[in-house]
Structure 1
């Protein structure tokens, strides 16, 4: 089987960075104590949610039933906005999230709205699937490949990979396999800093067919931390964000292409729900064509626009070709009225007139001839007998 060949080829020694950190090896083992960064229960609404105008989008679709897999550090399924999500694990450490990154990404994609909470996911009715491949900031590419294959096996129609790594044959094969199964793969373009030196392309975002996402600030421009070397499809909010966090709390001031990628994965779920007949390539194309416009290197087609992505009319998708003009009818298909026979009409008219004249003559003759005979054809004279 294809999955078996992919997994058999995996090298577990190759390192992949999870939320865009330096490539440092780490063992796939659960921390001794589950102690993610502390969060808060009091949050303000982030600019990202306001900018994407989600309430208007939800009048058309909330992503109902679309399976979205999050390949990350696990998921806190006890979070009030993430209950009911499916949590899987390929690390052997259990599916819970003791790092926080996976819960944050999943929340941006599909957290359900909650009263008096100024946060909700982009596609709150999507079917969320968490596949844990790492326990911390770094992870092994072998685990990542296994997680992607697992997500495809579980029926995911969108796969979120908020991870940056070097190009690896195993990773390339896993992505090609997902795309061949009509899965929309959304991946982070990666984060850079001055200390990193010259940036390099991030994978799997740089593979053909992957929807690559860069990070934008409130002005809609690419954030300085967003990798401009990686080919970018679209931008999404990626600075100063509020996100869900393990132990039923939230954290603020988050930044990175990881979180921008989650926003676009949510939009992909909305599009797949609204237009279920579109292929993965057509979903990517729709998101690309409806973005708000590029603003420089590393911005792709510009900031993602969820409302346009689910409502815009793209002629190549929705307008049927005009039917061909019907073939002209043969000359004898319609019986035309015969031309007016003016000669016959004229002859008939004269016959009628002559017949009338004959009748008049006969009538006059029936009166005058007997009278003439009585007078022996002499002219009449006045009667002078009185």
Structure 2
């Protein structure tokens, strides 16, 4: 029996500007900016999950969202998409968990251009961090949560068969319990994804800096790094600034928060793509999923590891569709002078038959028109010569 993968998400920080206001259930809790109706958000265009949906939407994957809870009243989550059970929380006063969950699995909806990466996945909201509504208006998340509580949340995610554990708000320091929880998660086959979110120079967050964890940096629309945290443990980068996602306080509507700037959003994008990879390649181990995500990333301009962007910006289509050698090693496991293996993404999905037929007819028409033009030119030339053959000059 195949065990569904689980993505565990640990809360985010949102920065939003009010628009089309919705009433929050409590004055102290997070408020939506409105229902987002602008152009497709730039981060969503960069990751382009819709291009992958003909291959996989993440169906069969259980995505555990660890953090501040997930607002079950936001109707961009499908009925039944939020799982229940011991330790789950379907309310979210703080709002950061709902933002993370939306990046991973919000449904496409005609009222908005925003959608999550893996809308076929189910979500398991586990609260480990209470947070506060004041944090939902900040652009920094390096305060983190208690490492002991985070360790317990990771253990609960593993107990629910987590396949991917996303830590969007990591802890500011490590503990034996947290290291042990990460080790247990990896032994279970999970991919542990953690945001590099420290804002103080030289600071590290955990389990981001723990060996074997996929540490995620974040980029803005210009491609520049968002976070201060840096190190040789950074794996990949993804969109983490000026983004859109689902909001808590929706009150039974499709509601969003924007613009959102937080390194945790980058980790949420990577975790969503990891869920797509697990759905499309159920035979892969957790470490093989991590390797695939790093090897297929768009390399930095230098071609080498960047301390704030890792091995480059996430390439979702290549990560899911590429053919890789069975024994390929992650880029950090070999000297940088060794060339990376060839990464061959699958061809883009074929156009519908009607489009192909129309294209064939159009090409045939062009060819006939060209032939007709040549014939007319030849006849006119022959008439000018009174139908006498021209002399051949070598």
Same-fold call, TM cutoff 0.5: yes
Measured after TM superposition, the shift of residue 49 of structure 1 is 0.6
How far apart in 2 are the matches of 1:141 and 1:76?
24
How far apart in 1 are the matches of 2:243 and 2:325?
36
Q: Deviations over 1:345-380 (max 9, x none)?
A: xxxxxxxxxxxxxxxxxxxxxxxxxxxxxxxxxxxx
Q: Deviations over 1:303-349 (max 9, x none)?
A: 0011000111112369xxxxxxxxxxxxxxxxxxxxxxxxxxxxxxx
1:227 aligns to what?
229
**1:300 corresponds to which of 310, 327, 332:** 310
2:321 aligns to what?
311
Measured after TM superposition, the shift of residue 226 of structure 1 is 4.3
Shifted more, 35-44 versus 266-275: the winner is 35-44
Matches within 5 A, 1:150-299: 150-165=156-171, 166-192=173-199, 196=200, 198-223=201-226, 225-229=227-231, 231-248=233-250, 249-295=255-301, 296-299=306-309
**2:47 corresponds to which of 32, 52, 61:** 52
Q: Deviations over 1:57-100 (max 9, x none)?
A: 11211111112222110000121122421256759xx5411000
How far apart in 2 are the matches of 1:128 and 1:62?
14
Matches within 5 A, 1:81-96: 81-83=76-78, 84=80, 85-87=82-84, 90=87, 95-96=90-91
Measured after TM superposition, the shift of residue 214 of structure 1 is 0.5
Q: Secondary structure at the match of 2:287?
A: helix
How far apart in 2 are the matches of 1:177 and 1:259?
25
Matches within 5 A, 1:109-188: 109-136=104-131, 139-165=145-171, 166-188=173-195
Unpaired runs of 5+ in structure 1?
Answer: 1-16, 22-30, 319-386
Q: 1:63 to 1:97 in 2, by over 3 A?
A: same
Q: Deviations over 1:221-243 (max 9, x none)?
A: 322x3422472100000010011
Instruction: Please report the TM-score for the alignment, with normalisation by the length of structure 1.
Output: 0.69
The question of whether the paired residues in 1 share the 8 Å contact of 2:246 and 2:257 is answered with yes
Measured after TM superposition, the shift of residue 200 of structure 1 is 1.3
How far apart in 2 are the matches of 1:215 and 1:280?
22
Q: 1:20 to 1:206 in 2, by over 3 A?
A: farther
1:105 aligns to what?
100
How far apart in 2 are the matches of 1:80 and 1:309?
30
Matches within 5 A, 1:319-334: none
Measured after TM superposition, the shift of residue 264 of structure 1 is 0.2
How far apart in 2 are the matches of 1:297 and 1:212?
11
Instruction: Please report the TM-score for the alignment, with normalisation by the length of structure 2.
Output: 0.68
The question of whether the paired residues in 2 share the 8 Å contact of 1:172 and 1:207 is answered with yes
The question of whether the paired residues in 1 share the 8 Å contact of 2:11 and 2:97 is answered with no
Q: Deviations over 1:33-61 (max 9, x none)?
A: 66213421134221001111222111211
Q: Secondary structure at the match of 2:244?
A: strand
Measured after TM superposition, the shift of residue 158 of structure 1 is 1.2
Unpaired runs of 5+ in structure 2?
Answer: 1-9, 15-24, 136-143, 329-394
